Amino acid sequence: MAPQEQDQGQGRQEQGAPRRRNPRGQGQVLRGQLIDAAAKLLATLDQPETLTLRQVAREVGVAPASIYGHFPDLSALVQHVLRLRYEELARLMEQAAQANPDPLGDVVARCAAYARWGVDQPGHYRTLFGGRMPTDLLTGSAHGAGEELFGALVASLAAVTDPDGTRSTPEGQWQAGILLWTALHGLVSLYNAHGTMSWPPLDDLLTDLIGLHTGRPAADIAALLAAN
């Protein structure tokens, strides 16, 4: 997926070792490095929304103007990174779900994958979900990963709470999905920002959260969570 370069001082460029220009025909290499650098900075920065074009250039060890050969501006680069992260998250959730044939296991796996990804990569989570909606980022894509991700979660939840599909309307399932998603989002957001406040372990909160939204016993969910 992402173009991986050989590890020749991959991190920040130090003075004394000036970057070597790529040979002809290898212009796409810098593009990959820009994407990697932006991703790293977005994940790392305290406030990822303050990322600048010059920071990315510095991280790669390249002149600021060099970015314009590959992206029209910083926001295009960031959007590209976010798209990749979004797809990564959607893929992780899908893979986690596929390893759990049981409907409850499916929901638990998706929720756990979402929350753990968000907690592991606070900067990326904040950039993706902290401000404008992901749909804003995915404008123009035929299949926004956001809708896929969310649609699958709605279906997964409905398969637990209404296995026969006779007890609820599509609107009701949609609303239940929104509530589950917003609960997960709030949990991840505040968990990432909780500072010095004492917080229970993430899995304990996830157990109760999923228990509330599925109506299943906490013990069942805790067991599934531990297995994921």
Residues that bind a second copy (CB under 8 A): 47, 49, 129-133, 135-136, 171, 174-176, 178-179, 181-187, 189-191, 193-197, 199-200, 204-205, 208-209, 212-213
Q: Which does 24 bind (CB under 5 to 8 A by kind): DNA, a second copy, none?
A: DNA
Q: Is 45 in the site for DNA (CB under 7 A)?
A: no
Residue 52 vs 141, nearer CB to DNA: 52
Q: Does 26 engage in binding with DNA (CB under 7 A)?
A: yes
Minimum separation from the CB atom of position 131 to a second copy (A): 6
102 binds, among DNA, a second copy, none (CB under 5 to 8 A by kind): none
Cβ proximity to DNA: between 68 and 199 the closer is 68
Instruction: Find the Cα–Cα–Cα–Cα dihedral 141, 142, 143, 147, rounded to 10°.
Output: 80
Burial of 114 (0-12, 13-18, 19+ CB in 10 A): buried
Report the Cα 83 to chain-centroid distance in Å.
Answer: 9
Q: Name the minimum Å distance from CB 157 to a second copy.
A: 12
Least distance from a second copy to the Cβ atom of residue 153, Å: 13
* Contact of 98 with 170, CB cutoff 8 Å: no
The interaxial angle of helices 103-120 and 145-161, nearest 10 deg, is 140
Task: From the list a second copy, DNA, none, pick the one residue 141 interacts with, judged by a Cβ distance below 5 to 8 Å according to partner type.
Answer: none
Q: Nearer Cβ to a second copy, position 62 or 108?
A: 108
Per-residue x/- track, 49-88, DNA (CB under 7 A) = ---xxxx------xxxxx-xx---xx--------------
DSSP assignment of 169-194 equals -HHHHHHHHHHHHHHHHHHHHHHHT-
The dihedral over CA atoms of 19, 25, 29, 32, expressed in degrees to the nearest 10, equals 150
Residue identified by tokens 């991959």 is 10
With CA atoms as reference, report the closest residue to 49 among 11, 87, 18, 75.
Answer: 75
47 makes contact, choosing from DNA, a second copy, none, with CB < 5 to 8 Å by partner type, with a second copy
From the CB of residue 61, how many other CB atoms can be counted at a distance below 10 Å?
A: 18
Q: Which residues contact 184 (CB under 8 A, 6 or more apart)?
A: 111, 114, 115, 118, 209
When asked if residue 23 is in the footprint of DNA (CB under 7 A), the reply is yes
Give residues in contact with DNA (CB under 7 A).
3, 19, 21-27, 29-30, 52-55, 62-66, 68-69, 73-74
